Amino acid sequence: MNTAVVVFPGSNCDQDVMHAVAETLGTKVRAVWHRETALPADTDLVILPGGFSFGDYLRCGAMAARSPIMKAVAAHGKRGGLLLGICNGFQILTESELLPGALLPNRTLDFICRPCFLRVENVSNPFTANFSKGQCVQFPIAHGDGLYTLPESELKTLEERGGVVFRYCSPDGQAEDESNPNGSANNIAGIVNEGGNILGLMPHPERASDPLLGGADGRVFWRSLFDAYRKGGR
């Protein structure tokens, strides 16, 4: 499985996600500068990393969504290729309309960094196939604009088709308001497109990929992708 991590000016989790993927899977991971117009030919998985692309000026992810590389990224996703956006990468995916909805400032209006519990709601996609449905995992969050929102009717459609993959929850798996760190609709932390190949999430699986740093649930996430790929998924 060949992974390409797109680097925008201001990305700051690009090296982290490259490290986590390479350490967990031992596969090839390459950085691709945002001004490129094509992905390496043999790319299987594209990751839009976290950080502050273009300083989060204007609106988080808005400028990155218009970077030259994004045409190739969108084409990869539309072809059914694996595409993952983490944190700022998720914001770029919604700004690019590759995923529905938008990410607004947290309801406290403050940046929040802390470990979060997430309930895995959908395991019939390559990103979470190795988890069990309803499983509670821990990934940290670190964002100022993570309040996921979309119009009521679309939210209903998203829920009905099982598009919600991760939901913020309490340590015992209850998705109540108290465990919603940013005010996201229905405690949504991550969603997948209808094709099941484009996933965006605010929490950082790469920060939960080493027991030394406080957690390894992220490894299951990377392993899922790898196993799905090996089964000839995409």
How far lies 136's CA from each of 100, 139, 151, 208, 227, in Å?
25, 10, 27, 13, 21
Between 182 and 197, name the residue whose CB sits nearer to other proteins: 182
Selected range binding other proteins among 65-73, 117-125, 190-198, 204-212, rule: CB under 8 A:
204-212
Would you name the residues annotated as active-site residues? Answer: 87, 204, 206
Classify residue 106 by its DSSP letter.
P
Residue in 24, 29, 45, 51 binding other proteins, rule: CB under 8 A? 51
Provide, rounded to whole angstroms, the least separation between the CB of residue 16 and other proteins: 5
Residues 112-151 that bind other proteins (CB under 8 A): 112-114, 140, 142, 144
Question: Does 9 help bind other proteins (rule: CB under 8 A)?
Answer: yes
Classify residue 42 by its DSSP letter.
T
Question: Does 36 help bind other proteins (rule: CB under 8 A)?
Answer: no
| Host H or E run for residue 221 | helix 217-230
**Rounded CA gap, 89 and 203, in Å?**
11
73 Cβ contact list (under 8 Å, min separation 6): 6, 39, 46, 48, 83, 96
How far lies 73's CA from each of 29, 45, 93, 107, 232, in Å?
16, 10, 10, 31, 20
Between 69 and 129, name the residue whose CB sits nearer to other proteins: 69
Residue in 76, 119, 167, 207 binding other proteins, rule: CB under 8 A? 207
Selected range binding other proteins among 10-18, 70-78, 148-156, 222-230, rule: CB under 8 A:
10-18
Question: Does 54 help bind other proteins (rule: CB under 8 A)?
Answer: yes
Q: By rule CB under 8 A, what count of residues binds other proteins? A: 29
3 with 200: CB under 8 angstroms? no
Classify residue 179 by its DSSP letter.
G
**Residue whose pair of structure tokens reads 């990410």 in the numeric block:** 103
Residue in 44, 56, 121, 217 binding other proteins, rule: CB under 8 A? 56
Provide, rounded to whole angstroms, the least separation between the CB of residue 5 and other proteins: 14
Closest among 221, 213, 36 to 126, alpha carbons compared = 221
The residues of the shown chain that bind other proteins, judged by CB under 8 A, are: 9-10, 12-13, 15-16, 19-20, 33, 51-52, 54-57, 110-114, 140, 142, 144, 204, 206-207, 210, 212-213
